[in-house]
Amino acid sequence: MQIIKSNSNINFIAKRKIAFFLSVALLVISMVSLVIHKGPKYGIDFAGGTLIQVKFMTKTSMDNIKSGLATIGLGKSTVQVFGDPKENEYLIRADALDTATEGLSLKVKQAVELSTRNNADIRRLEMVGPKVGSDLREKALFSMFYALLFIAIYISGRFEMKWLASGVMTAALIFALLFVRKICIFFNLENTIPVLICVALIITLVFFWFLKLKYAMGAIVAIIHDVGITVGIFSLLEIDFTLSIIAALLTIIGYSLNDTIIVFDRIRENLRKYQNNSLEKNINKSINETLNRTILTSFTTLMVVVSLFLIGGNIIHDFAFAMIIGIFVGTYSSIFVASPILLVWDLYEKQV
């Protein structure tokens, strides 16, 4: 199946300045939103607390639900409609428990039935302590950071044959980060972990620059771009950041990397095949040659994810939404972010 002709000659590289401006604008908006909201809106998985999903037989008032919860020490809980309003399902969120956790499901059921005069069915009850939530948050951040580092090794080895340089750099960063983490834990400074990882990412990009790992630089910047915009949209919309979103972000990292590697591989081939062509022309040619595959892959993946978003149920709704954003942003970044970075690097080296 061919949507785009193989001999197409769309000048993507000529639009790189507009694309860079758009990407920077989106990232700035994302950062501003995260600063204003003091980070993502963490769900129960990361913030700790209690999540209760309850279904009533008939329509009921949220005020009546709250008044019932107050009788068992959950008066500060938030209550919101879950799914289709016609289903009469509600999510109850409590930051912390003021009552014993044993038999909580039965206590909630009895309390809300008494206050609403309505039969209730507890569909789900999740409890996460604040310490567990903090540990999960740290592990989620480290998982993404380590994924980026090992991706850097792979890209550097495959495209630039610098396995040793990238491996030594990665090992040094991992040991340094683990050492600093131990110090933070010792002095009870665990909240500084996100800042440390951001600093480590900046240092990683600096290492890429000095070691001249341009392909790794392009791939990692594109991935940071994709993850940053996705997290920023979730922050803007104030959607809960849960473990399923971390799974979506790791999937987006893999998806974006796969798309970028296809383009990079074609660029490398064309640089050998058309040595008389300029780098700009070879990059543009490579993007056009892989464009049909990129569109087909994105379209078929998007069909599945949109199906999950529409009919997959509320539990998987946020995961599917993150994937939809990631597919669009990941496809965009492989064309307008990762590849043009190679050209910008080359132009800079020629000026120096």
Highest-confidence segment of 80-84, 125-129, 190-194, 318-322: 318-322
* Residue 193, pLDDT above cutoff 90: no
Q: pLDDT at position 101, please?
A: 57
What is the location of CATH 1.20.1640.10 in the chain?
Answer: 13-43+131-351
| CATH code at 13-43+131-351 | 1.20.1640.10
Location of each CATH 3.30.70.3400 domain in the chain: 49-128
pLDDT-derived band at 1, boundaries 50, 70, 90:
low
Residue matched to tokens 């569109």:
295
- In this structure, the number of other CB atoms found within 10 A of the CB of residue 68 comes to 22
DSSP-derived letter for residue 241 is B
Q: Does pLDDT of 232 surpass 70?
A: yes
pLDDT tens by residue, 273-291: 888 888 899 999 999 988 8
Residue 235 confidence (pLDDT) above 70: yes
Quickly name the fold that domain 49-128 has: Alpha-Beta Plaits (3.30.70)
Share of the chain above pLDDT 90, in %: 29
The pLDDT of residue 87 is 85
Q: Give percent of the chain above pLDDT 70.
A: 93
Q: Which two tokens stand for residue 187?
A: 């002095």
Per the prediction, the chain carries an average pLDDT of 85
* For residues 42-70, average pLDDT: 85
Q: Is the per-residue pLDDT at 185 higher than 80?
A: no
- The whole-number pLDDT of residue 189 equals 64
Higher model confidence: residue 185 or residue 273?
273
Res. 308 pLDDT band, cuts 50 70 90: very high
**pLDDT the model gives residue 332:** 94
Interval 164-179 mean pLDDT: 82
330 pLDDT higher than 60: yes
SS3 annotation, 295-347: HHHHHHHHHHHHHHHHHCCCCCHHHHHHHHHHHHHHHHHHHHHHHHHHHHHHH
- Residue, of 82 and 287, whose pLDDT is higher: 287
- The mean-pLDDT minimum among 40-54, 130-144, 292-306, 310-324 falls in 130-144
pLDDT band of residue 307 (cuts 50, 70, 90) is: very high
- What's the maximum distance between 2 C-alpha atoms anywhere in the chain? 81
Q: Which residues pair with 90 in a beta bridge?
A: 54, 81
Q: In the predicted model, is pLDDT for residue 61 greater than 70?
A: yes
Residue 304 has pLDDT above 90, yes or no: yes
Q: Are residues 194 and 231 in contact, defined by beta-carbon separation less than 8 angstroms?
A: no
- Alpha carbons within 13 A on the beta-carbon side of 333: 32
Residue 41 backbone class (left: φ over 0; alpha: ψ -120 to 50; beta: rest) = beta
The confidence score (pLDDT) of residue 97 equals 55
Q: Average the pLDDT over 12-23 and give the result.
A: 91
244 has a pLDDT exceeding 70: yes
Provide the pLDDT confidence category of residue 293 given band limits of 50, 70 and 90. Answer: confident
